[in-house]
Structure formats: C-alpha cells, structure tokens
Amino acid sequence: MTLQSEVLSLLAIIPNGKVVTYGQIAKILGRPKASRVVGNILHRNLEPDRFPCYKVVNATGKLSSHYAYGGLTAQAKRLRHDGIIVQGDRVDLKRYQAPSDELANLLDSSINK
DNA sequence: CAATTGACGTAGT
DNA sequence: CACTACGCCAATT
C-alpha cells in the first residue's frame, strides 16, 4: 500500500465543512515527519475532481500557494462553498480543523466498509 | 540505483 | 504573527 493511496483515502473522508493540515495527515498515516511528502503527493496527482484536496491547508491555516487551477483564489472559493470562512488567504484552524482522532476513526470505518 | 524535488513543520529570532 | 534556517522522506528522474 503506497502512502499516496492512504492520503487520497483520507481526503475522501474529511467531514464536510472541515479542513486538515498536511502534518495532521502525515501523523495519522504513521509518518509524523513526512508532511512534505503529503504535499508532494497532492501536488503530483492533481486530481481536484476526484479528491477534495482544497480542504488541506498548512499548519498556520494558510492555503496552498501553488494550488492548481487558479491557486489561492480557486481554493478559497471552494472552501467558502463548503461554508468555511476564508479571511484573506487563510482559514481559522481553531474552528475548522478536523480532530485527528475523528479522522483516524473515519478512516478505519472506510477500510472496514 | 543515487540524486533531486518539493501543496510542509518546528524552533529560533 | 512574519521571517529564516534546517530537518524530513516518498515519489520521480
């Protein structure tokens, strides 16, 4: 099982109206130091229609500046569409970041399903 | 197979 | 919070 497929699986189960950070994903998948890899995976796959990669932000809540198809603006637009308030180029992590344990639980459920 | 490449994170300033 | 420097590691070349 590649880390890549794990990351994509996790993206698919992010609760609507919530966001996650790269490091959070990495930690959940057992690679707490592989935050960069998570970003690389999303960068290389570029499948915005298949996975909600717009729900992924960095540790400060800032949106990815190299997001495909319009960059920050396009990503912010998608986030707002999900009911998430985007101030400038960032979101309020305190309010929108999905708890890691909840994600782990959802991931487990998706595997079981 | 070795080197390169980053949608990043953390600690220090 | 903004910036810098350095560490990290799977996928790609």
Q: Which residues contact A90 (CB under 8 A, 6 or more apart)?
A: A57, A60, A61, A62, A63
pTM over 0.85: yes
Active site residue A61: no
Query: Is A4's CB less than 7 Å from nucleic acid strand C?
Result: yes
Categorize the per-residue pLDDT at A51 as very low, low, confident or very high, splitting at 50, 70 and 90. Answer: confident
Q: Tell me the pLDDT tens digit for each residue of A3-48.
A: 898 999 999 999 999 999 999 999 999 999 999 999 999 988 766 6
Mean pLDDT of A63-78: 84
Please state, as a whole number, how many other Cβ atoms lie within 10 Å of the Cβ of residue A82. 16
Give the pLDDT confidence score for residue A70 in this predicted structure: 76
- More confident site: A60 or A65: A60
Q: Which nucleotide is nearest to A22 (CA to C1')?
A: B8
Whole-number Å distance, CA A34 to C1' C9?
6
Q: Pick the closest to residue A104 from A34, A3, A9 (CA basis).
A: A9
Residue whose CA lies closest to nucleotide B7 C1': A39
Sort strands A86-87 and A20-21 into parallel, antiparallel or unpaired.
Answer: unpaired
Cα separation values, A77 from A53, A62, A69, A90, Å: 13, 14, 12, 12
